Structure formats: structure tokens, C-alpha cells
A = this chain, B = another copy of it.
């Protein structure tokens, strides 16, 4: 159902935030160190002991690829060239043993983004990878944010607007941001959290702005999509987004239940604010 879809999208997005990196190398020590560091950073590491097909690389949806050309053996240059040509958005870092200037020049000319010489510090390699990814990202087409449909409404980040039945809800920028934020998560968001992520700084004690905006949002949602409840209040905590037809009491009962699977219970504790 739609609720499930929303949760799925949010989860996917969270997973997508993890950088995906593949390393083609056979040095166990190197891999181990790298693996440890990257795990701490929350990256997604895939170790490969030899060249894989381009299609396999494509399917991995990588952000970056680190490769020891020595592992590739003959044909390494062609491989490098094909990879860089086929995946122009991929950051490619060659990390290998001692090399000649000519080799490094060749590698870079073929499309590699950087050349590291082993042995090297994992930290430095990571920085180089980050720099390459950063550079790639900056010029990526501004992320085409997909429209999402929840309940009867469609949220279009590209237009900073939500629609119901093709008609705009006429949300203001701030209203939209709050709706967008709420819709991306199925858990309860505390006011402070909402405020901080939308306004960009800490909420002053006793500020009611979030409440007021939630009211405006509900009003517009009600007008555009009557018969549905989208924003639910959790007394003493905050708000939770979940499109629900508001007929029937059982639905309401459901709201009271713990709809989360993973340990968000802590958040539901009656956090007595000062």
C-alpha cells in the first residue's frame, strides 16, 4: 500500500546516502584497513579480486571505483578506458604500487580521476576518493527529485509544490518544506527536529511556529483532499506523517499503536520538556 511505499522510499533514500565504493585489489591487508575505516564512515564497500564486466559495475551503482592496475594484468589500460568511457559519472582512482610518470600520465589521460601510489594511508586515499566524488557530484545534474504520491496527494520537489487531483495546494515555500520533510519519514518527528531541519537552526524554547504551520498544512490538505488524514499529532512528542482515510474508528486505534518495527520506542517516551 501507499504507506508501505513511503516507508520504502525513505529507507531507500537513507540507504542511498551511503556512498558505494568498489575496490579491485588483492592485498588483504590493504582491504582490511580500508574496510575498517570505511565501515566507520558508513560507506558501502565491495571488494573484488579481479576485473568484472562493465555491466556488472554498472549494476553496482557505484559512486567510486578504486583499482590496482597490477591486478588487471594485460589489457588494464583498455579496461580502464572502457570503464571511464562507459561510466562518466563514476570516480575512478588508481591505487597501485610504484609506477613511472608515463604510466600515471597514461592512466589519468584515459579518464582516471586520481592516481595514488601504494603504500599509502587509508585516510589519504579516502580523502582522494571523497574529493573525486565531491567533484563529480557538484556537477551532477541537480538531483532530479522524484515526485512521490501519498494518499491522494502528489509531492513534487522540483516544483516546490504539492498537488491533489492535479490542482496545486498553493503551499508556501516553508509549508512545502515541512510537508516534504514529514512525508519522507514514517516516524514521529519532534518539533525541535522539524524546526531544526527546516529553519536550519535550533528552535527557541516555547516557539509555536511548527504548530502553526502544521495547522496551515492540515487546512490545505483537508481542502484539497477531504476525507483523509495526513498529519497525526503525538501528544507530548511531535508529528507523524501517514496518509489515512479518516473514516472508521479502527483506523484511529491503529494510529495509537506502535507502527514502527525498529526501536523507535525511545522516541515515544513522554519526554517532559523542561
Q: How many interface residues does chain A have, given as a range?
A: 35 or more
Q: Tell me if A187 counts as interface (CB < 8 A to partner B).
A: yes
- Residues of B within 8 Å of A124, CB to CB, are 101, 104-105, 108
| A2 close to B (CB within 8 Å) | yes
Cross-chain contact of A167 among B165, B256, B260 (Cβ < 8 A): B256
Q: When chains A and B are docked, how far (Å) is the Cα of A216 from the Cα of B28?
A: 62
- Look across to chain B and name the residue whose beta carbon is closest to the beta carbon of A159: B188
- Which of chain B's residues has its CB closest to A258's CB? B163
In the bound complex, residues from chain B placing their C-beta under 8 Å from that of A257 are 163, 166-168
A130-B108, A139-B138 known; A172 and B265 CB under 8 Å?
no
Q: Are B135 and A121 in contact (CB under 8 A)?
A: no
A147 near B5 (CB under 8 angstroms)?
A: no
In the bound complex, what is the Cα–Cα distance between A137 and B88 (angstroms)? 11
**Interface residue? A174 (CB, 8 A):** yes
Determine the chain B residues whose CB is within 8 A of the CB of A5 once the complex forms.
268-269
**What residue in chain B is nearest A123 (Cβ atoms)?**
B105
A206 within 8 A of B: no
Task: Provide the A129-158 mask, 1 if CB < 8 A to any CB of B, else 0.
Answer: 011101111111110001111001010101
Q: Is A201 an interface residue (CB 8 A)?
A: no
- Chain A residues 227-274 with CB under 8 Å of chain B are 234-237, 240, 256-260, 264-265, 268-269, 271-273
Choose among B113, B141, B170 the residue that contacts A256 (Cβ–Cβ < 8 A). B170
Interface presence of A54 (CB below 8 A):
no
Is A114 interfacial (CB 8 A cutoff)? Answer: yes
Residues of B within 8 A of A236 (CB): 172-174
In whole angstroms, what is the CA distance A121 to B188 when docked? Answer: 43
> In the complex where A108-B127, A141-B139, A149-B269 touch, is A154 in contact with B258 (Cβ < 8 A)?
yes
Query: In this assembly, does A186 line the interface, its C-beta being within 8 Å of a C-beta of chain B?
Result: yes
A81 within 8 A of B: no
Decide if A265 touches B159 in the complex (CB within 8 Å). Answer: no
Whether A205 sits at the interface, judged by CB under 8 Å, is no
10 contacts between A and B (CB under 8 A): A2-B272, A101-B124, A109-B130, A147-B268, A154-B265, A154-B271, A156-B258, A167-B258, A172-B235, A173-B235
A137-B139, A166-B258 known; 6 other A-B pairs, CB under 8 Å? Answer: A5-B269, A105-B121, A154-B268, A160-B237, A168-B258, A170-B256
Q: Identify the 4 closest CB pairs spanning chains A and B, nearest first.
A: A173-B236, A158-B187, A108-B127, A163-B258
